[in-house]
Each structure stands twice: as C-alpha cells, then as structure tokens.
C-alpha cells in the first residue's frame, strides 16, 4: 500500500474566475484524493489534498498547469501530516480560513 500524504497548496497567478477550484475537484476525483479547494481574498486558490503519495504528486503537477484560461505564476506547497479527516472533496466558499 502506498504511503499517505497530505499537502496544502496555494496557487498564485490568474487562477480565479477560470474554474480552477472545479478543475482541482475533477482531478481530485480522478486521483482518488480527498480535501478541499477555495478562492483566497488575495486572488490565489488554496487547496488541501490527502491520499496516496503518487496521486498527491500528480495533483501538484496539475496545479502547476491549471485549467484552460488560467495562468499559474507559482505554487507554494507544504507537506502536512495526514489526518484522515476528509471523506470526500469539496469546493469551499471564497476566503475559507482552512482547517
């Protein structure tokens, strides 16, 4: 069984108003990841994902690419200890303060 990993990421660039949160949600479903994504008041998108390490690595690559219409300047990503607290993936309201 693959090691579980949890990642918190902030995606900077032109990432709001282009369906970025829904892009993250679709990829999370495809990769069998759980967590959330939200718009940040700074204009960035924040996401927390948890699941098998290779899937989390693939999500980071997807975040760096983004959906059509997005321009990703950079992604800040930090590993956290997996908690197992999520049962699915949700798109949260803008400005969500996190967990």
Sign of CA dihedral 14, 20, 23, 24: positive
pTM for the model stands at 0.91
The strand pairing partners of 8, in sequence order, are 48, 78
What confidence category does residue 99 fall into, taking pLDDT thresholds of 50, 70 and 90?
Answer: low
Annotated catalytic residue, options 6, 25, 27, 39: 39
Active site residue 27: no
Distance CA 1, CA 18 (A): 36
- Please tell me the number of Cα atoms within 13 Å of 58 on its side-chain side: 13
**Candidate list 6, 21, 25, 46, residue with the active-site label:** 21
User: In order of start, what are the domains of the chain with their CATH numbers?
Assistant: 4-85 (3.30.70.100)
pLDDT at 46 over 60: yes
Catalytic site includes residue 39: yes
Give the pLDDT confidence of 66-81 residue by residue, as tens digits. 999 999 999 999 999 9
């Amino acid at each position: 069984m693959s090691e579980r990993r949890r990642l918190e990421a902030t995606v900077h660039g032109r990432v709001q108003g282009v369906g970025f949160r829904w892009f993250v949600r679709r990829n999370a479903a495809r990769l069998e990841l759980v967590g959330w994504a939200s718009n940040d008041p700074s204009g960035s998108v924040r996401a927390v994902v948890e699941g098998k390490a290779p899937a989390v690595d693939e999500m980071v690559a997807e975040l760096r690419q983004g959906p059509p219409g997005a321009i990703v300047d950079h992604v800040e990503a930090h590993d956290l200890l997996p908690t197992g607290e999520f049962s699915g993936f949700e798109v949260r309201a803008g400005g969500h303060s996190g967990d």
